[in-house]
């Protein structure tokens, strides 16, 4: 019965055929072990898969659950559908399996089903923090901030070293102006693989919030230099220049900038203009 329910829910391909299953009758069921789980591993950059944003250039090797997600991120839902059916007998009690299927439904835009599968992952292993993190991402997209925070804090209690949980918690705190809390989590990423992402930029914005402008300048400057056309980078960088007594440089940065009052950057822009006019 459970397999029939699964097949009914797992219609990820547009075709009407059932998953083509290999003969897995002689293969043992795969038991969950955190240390060997692709999504819960601390090794390499695997932890980043929890973000629901898989880097398609990454070689997932022989990990079949990660391959399901990679296929879905590539838009090849038919292959992911077949592979999911093949793996079900072995992985039906593995939280990573249900997490992978949930990510595929997320990729298809079927958020309700994605939430169902992330919840099943937690039924299989109630401390499975990748699924908690993924549910939190859905809550953020739904603007259910309290739920997102509760889920991420629960995930953090389970795995305090998780790069992506700290990253997402830091971003959430930053969005609501809790700069010290944001830095607590974002600073843990300074020497991690997330250093290549926007983590440093968010750390810079948080440093501005706690008035450590020199540190903010050092963190934000590389992002501005790499893309001088983005308005938000102009504003943040110019503010750090202003607050470190470099008014002339700040004026150059925003010389051609106009921010409409409907823009979320408008309050920063006003502050910047007032400071330059003093």
Has this prediction a pTM greater than 0.75?
A: yes
The answer to the question of residue 203 being in a domain is no
Higher pLDDT, 199 or 150: 150
Asked if residue 274 is part of any domain, the answer here is yes
Q: Which percentage of the chain shows pLDDT scores above 70?
A: 78
Which residues span the domain enclosing 257? 220-278
Compute the radius of gyration of the chain from its Cα atoms. 22
Q: Which residue has the higher pLDDT, 171 or 42?
A: 171
pLDDT tens string 98-123: 998 998 898 888 999 999 999 999 99
Residues 181-209 have pLDDT tens digits of 999 999 888 766 554 567 889 999 999 99
In this predicted structure, which of 35-39, 55-59, 120-124 has the lowest mean pLDDT? 55-59
Residues 19 and 131 reside in one and the same domain: yes
Average pLDDT over residues 73-86: 89
pLDDT digits (tens, 9 = 90+) for 212-238: 999 999 999 999 999 999 999 999 999
207, two tokens: 């440093």
Among 173, 168, 178, 182, residue whose Cα is nearest residue 137:
168
Asked if residue 202 belongs to a domain, the reply is: no
Counting the structural domains of the chain, the total is 2
Residue 85: both structure tokens together: 């059916």
Domain C-terminal end among 120, 142, 164: 142
Residues in the chain: 278
> Do residues 16 and 130 both lie within one domain?
yes
Tokens of 146: 């309290």
User: What pLDDT is stored for residue 106 in this prediction?
Assistant: 87
Average pLDDT, the chain: 82
- CA dist., res. 175 & res. 215, Å (int): 19
């Amino acid at each position: 019965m459970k397999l029939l329910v699964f097949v009914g829910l797992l219609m990820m391909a547009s075709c009407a055929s059932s998953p083509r299953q290999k003969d897995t009758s002689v293969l043992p069921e795969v038991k969950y072990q955190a240390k060997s789980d692709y999504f819960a591993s601390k090794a390499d950059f695997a932890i980043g898969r929890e973000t629901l944003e898989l880097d398609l250039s990454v070689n997932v090797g022989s990990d079949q659950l990660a391959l399901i997600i990679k296929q879905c991120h590539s838009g090849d839902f038919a292959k992911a559908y077949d592979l999911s059916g093949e793996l079900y007998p072995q992985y039906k009690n593995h939280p990573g399996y249900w997490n992978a299927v949930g990510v595929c439904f997320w990729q298809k835009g079927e958020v309700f089903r994605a939430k169902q599968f992330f919840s099943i992952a937690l039924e299989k292993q109630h401390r499975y923090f990748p699924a908690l993190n993924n549910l939190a991402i859905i809550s953020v997209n739904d603007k259910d901030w309290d739920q997102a925070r509760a889920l991420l804090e629960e995930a953090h209690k389970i795995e305090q070293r998780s790069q992506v949980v700290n990253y997402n918690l830091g971003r959430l705190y930053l969005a609501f102006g809790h700069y010290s809390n944001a830095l607590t989590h974002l600073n843990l990423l300074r020497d991690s693989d997330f250093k290549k992402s926007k983590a440093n930029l968010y750390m810079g914005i948080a440093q501005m919030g706690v008035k450590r402008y020199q540190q903010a300048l050092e963190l934000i400057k590389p992002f501005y230099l790499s893309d001088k056309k983005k308005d938000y980078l102009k504003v943040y960088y110019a503010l750090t220049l202003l607050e470190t007594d470099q008014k002339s440089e700040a004026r150059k940065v925003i010389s051609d900038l106009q921010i409409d009052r409907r823009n979320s950057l408008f309050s920063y822009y006003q502050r910047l203009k007032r400071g330059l006019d003093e």
